[in-house]
Structure 1
Amino acid sequence: MTSTTADGSWLSALIDAVIGLMDVIGPAGAGLAIALENLFPPLPSEAILPMAGIAAHDGAFGLWEAVAWTTLGSLVGALALYGLGAWLGLDRLRRVADRLPLIAVSDVDRTVAWFQRHGGKAVFFGRFIPIFRSLISIPAGVARMPVWRFSALTTAGSLIWNTVFILCGWFLGSGWHIVEQYVDVVQNIVIVVVAAVVVVIVVLRIRSRRAGRSDASGEARQRQQDSDTESPGVPTTRGR
């Protein structure tokens, strides 16, 4: 399989690397790339998966092999992050949050409580959302979602996602470059949106902390004033 890109962008370099992996180790190369995509969310599976479809279309390996290996890669990467969350655990995560300047322990408790209510849907549907599909594995580990359930939901969601994009590469073939130019744009938009959300959360948290400190200082001053007003005067004695 030959490279389909030559514009010198980071996405082109990534695609060329994936193509090289598939040339050397076949569909396992695509699976390895997708496992790494789970561990490093900025890597776009939306660009990696169609390359596996094109390779299958060109006869490098079977279509079902591309789907099977990339789905296995998704599961392996997700389980690694699940293991990280399980290793951290709730108590350790709460201690870490208590040391961070912009995160409260209550934030961790609310997140875990939300995940315990909606974790199944979050894991399954999260596989269709860039970046989120990787990060959702960590709270699943923290909440100790049963491994069999996490694996089943992750596999089901990944199977759908991977199959769609592999089939896009399969049917478009060498014409994938027409769509590829938009993939980088979409991925960058997602990253910008996520970064903007993080900035908004940080700004709101800073304002909340400042308001809390201001209220606490005001209450302290008020209590001091009340104490000074209510304290009786100290009598003095004069010598006769």
Structure 2
Amino acid sequence: MTEWITDIVERMGYWAIGLLMLLENVFPPIPSEVIMPLAGYTAADGGLNIILVIICGTIGTVTGAAFWWWLAGKCGERRLKKLADRHGRWLTLSANEIDHVDAWFDRHGSWAIPVAHIIPGLRTLISIPAGVFGTPFPRFLILTTLGSAVWNSLLAGAGYFLGRQFSAVDRYLGPAGLTIMAAVLLYYVYRVITFKPSVENA
């Protein structure tokens, strides 16, 4: 995959960075841990401007996150509760628990959204509760831009300063992202197995 990303970035430059980072958020197996360090290395080699690399990467990230926010918003909390009444075990939430999650997100969304964007494996997921629970788009946009700009700056900066060793970033962060995703999946399976409807929805 690294060779494929390298070829696209060399041929399309900034457009490729923005497009790949958008796809990374819509289709997570495309790793930002490869895209942004590679772009940073290309900037260090004189092919691109590091500031524009970070800006284009962040625009792509935010656009991809906005897609999931919009899609989750179309579902909405009311529809989610109806699904919980019918298929609570597979959602691992009852309608009553959704209210608690909503209240938690209202209190902590201001830090949860940007922090999730610097944690491999959670960048895409955080946009879904933000959309479902009605985080206003301007607020979502600002918080997502903040978190993604920090993450993209770190990755691009690593590639810029590591030079040809930029692949070391993916060597360490790639497994970390897979570990987090595996942990999320295992937790989901555990929730499905142990799920019990709340008294209000029993």
TM over 0.5: yes
Give 1:36's aligned residue.
23
Contact in 1 for aligned 2:37/2:156 (Cα 8 Å): yes
Specify the alignment match of 2:113 in structure 1.
Answer: 123
Identify which of 48, 56, 69 aligns with 2:56. 69
Change in 2 beyond 3 A, CA 1:187/1:20:
same
Correspondence 1:97 to 2:97? no
Identity %: 35
Amino acid at match of 2:56: W
TM-superposed CA distance for 1:162, in Å, is 0.4
Cα deviation code 1:77-113 (max 9, x no counterpart): 1111110121111111112222215032223222212
Match of 1:136 in 2: 126
Q: Aligned equivalents of 2:95 and 2:30: distance in 1?
A: 31
Is the alpha carbon distance of 1:75 and 1:178 closer, same or farther for their aligned partners in structure 2, counting shifts above 3 Å?
Answer: closer
Q: For 1:15-54, what aligned pairs fall within 5 Å after superposition?
A: 15-54=2-41
The question of whether the paired residues in 1 share the 8 Å contact of 2:25 and 2:65 is answered with: yes
Residue 184 (structure 1) aligns with: 174
Q: Distance in 1 between matches of 2:27 and 2:34?
A: 14
Change (3 A) 1:156 1:179: closer
Query: Which residue of structure 2 aligns with residue 82 of structure 1?
Result: 69
Query: How many residues get paired?
Result: 196
What corresponds to 2:97 in structure 1? 107
Q: Which has the higher contact order (CA 8 A, sep 6+)?
A: 2
- If the length of structure 2 is used for normalisation, what is the TM-score? 0.88
TM-score under structure 1 length normalisation: 0.75
Specify the structure having the higher radius of gyration (Cα).
1
CA distance in 2, matches of 1:105, 1:111: 10
In 2, the alpha carbon distance for the partners of 1:143 and 1:175 equals 42
**Distance (whole Å) between structure 2 residues aligned to residue 142 and residue 179 of structure 1:** 33
Deviation at 1:182, TM superposition (A): 2.8
User: What stretches of structure 2 of length at least 5 have no aligned partner?
Assistant: none
